[in-house]
């Protein structure tokens, strides 16, 4: 049986978030997490799935294509014959490594990734972490929550290549990626519709 990691909790205080009650927590939940270590927040992975579904459902239409039209976080077909398979996407996120940003036990930010993956061998070395999803609750944006989750992601994956993909018109995410030192490494033109490219970004950590 593989070793089981415990979820870790770290107090977090994003800028411009000063209302009371004001208890912010950054939480890392490994893909093989022992939920008994976090029983006051998540009663097992099924509850995690339900809580993730809430935050993903609220923002999924902002993505191209919408997240609930995808059957996984890594699928290559992002334009044709897409069906509404929301549960498939949510369950995929829940099965991955998750960095959660909590405000008074509510998930207000999620960053999910796959460790030691080789999804795109022609672009990256095998020793990678692939960031699949990053979402911040609409009511908590512009508080540096995405920035804080990225910092945690990079701290947890200090060696090797980090990478992610997005669509070419996702200006806010691209701005954050460039600010954090990620560079465009690959582009597939019109991959998500006419004039909407899929763009891959990577960053090597030491």
Tens digits of per-residue pLDDT, 77-108? Answer: 888 667 766 688 999 999 999 999 998 878 99
For residue 185, count other CB atoms closer than 10 A to its CB. 16
All residues at 6 or more sequence positions from 136 whose CB lies less than 8 Å from its CB, including other chains = 59, 101, 108, 109, 145, 146
Number of compact structural domains in the chain: 1
Residue 57 reports pLDDT greater than 80: yes
Kindly state whether residue 43 falls inside one of the protein's structural domains: yes
The CATH number for 148's domain is 3.40.630.30
Q: Check whether 40 has a pLDDT greater than 90.
A: no
Write out the residue range of the structural domain in which residue 81 sits.
8-164
Q: For residue 42, what pLDDT band results from cuts at 50, 70 and 90?
A: low
For residue 10, the model assigns a pLDDT of: 56
pLDDT band at 3 (very low <50, low <70, confident <90, very high): very low
Q: Is the pLDDT of residue 1 over 50?
A: no
> pTM value?
0.84
Q: Is residue 187 part of a domain?
A: no
pLDDT of residue 30: 84
Q: Is residue 175 part of a domain?
A: no
CA 5 – CA 74 distance, rounded (Å): 24
- Establish if 87 belongs to a structural domain: yes
Q: Does 10 or 131 have the greater pLDDT score?
A: 131
Q: Give the closest residue to 72 by CA, choosing from 55, 59, 81, 85.
A: 85
For position 36, what pLDDT does the model report?
54
Q: What is the pLDDT of residue 37?
A: 54
Going by C-alpha positions, the residue among 180, 181, 198 that lies closest to residue 189 is 198
pLDDT given for residue 120 in this prediction: 67
Strands (E) across 51-197 are located at 97-103, 106-117, 128-136, 160-167, 183-188
* Cβ partners under 8 Å of residue 53, min gap 6: 86, 87, 90
Count of CA atoms in the C-beta half-sphere (13 A) of 83 = 4
Q: Tell me what the mean pLDDT of segment 56-74 comes to.
A: 93
> Is 92 among the domain residues?
yes
Q: How far apart, in whole angstroms, are the C-alpha atoms of residue 63 and residue 42? A: 27
Domain annotation covers residue 184:
no
Question: Could you tell me the pLDDT band of residue 31, with boundaries at 50, 70 and 90?
Answer: confident
Quick: pLDDT tens for 153-183. Answer: 999 998 778 999 999 999 999 999 999 999 9
- Domain contains 120: yes
> For the residues 126-145, what does the mean pLDDT come to?
91
Is the residue at 52 inside a domain? yes
């Amino acid at each position: 049986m593989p070793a089981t990691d415990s979820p870790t909790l770290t107090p977090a205080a994003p800028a411009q978030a000063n209302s009371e009650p004001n208890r912010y927590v950054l939480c890392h939940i490994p893909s093989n997490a022992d939920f008994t270590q976090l029983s006051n927040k998540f009663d097992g992975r099924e509850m995690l799935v339900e809580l993730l579904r809430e935050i993903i459902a609220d923002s999924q239409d902002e993505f191209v294509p919408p997240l609930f039209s995808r059957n996984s976080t890594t699928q290559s077909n992002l334009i044709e014959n897409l069906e509404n398979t929301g549960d498939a996407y949510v369950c995929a996120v829940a099965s991955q490594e998750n960095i959660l940003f909590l405000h008074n036990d509510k998930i207000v930010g999620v960053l999910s990734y796959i460790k030691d993956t080789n999804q795109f061998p022609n672009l990256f070395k095998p020793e990678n972490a692939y960031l699949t999803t990053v979402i911040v609750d609409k009511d908590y944006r512009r508080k540096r929550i995405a920035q804080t989750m990225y910092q945690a992601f990079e701290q947890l994956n200090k060696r090797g290549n980090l990478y992610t993909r997005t669509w070419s018109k996702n200006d806010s995410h691209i701005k954050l990626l460039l600010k954090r030192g990620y560079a465009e490494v690959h582009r597939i033109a019109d991959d998500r519709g006419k004039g909407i490219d899929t763009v891959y970004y990577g960053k090597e950590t030491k």
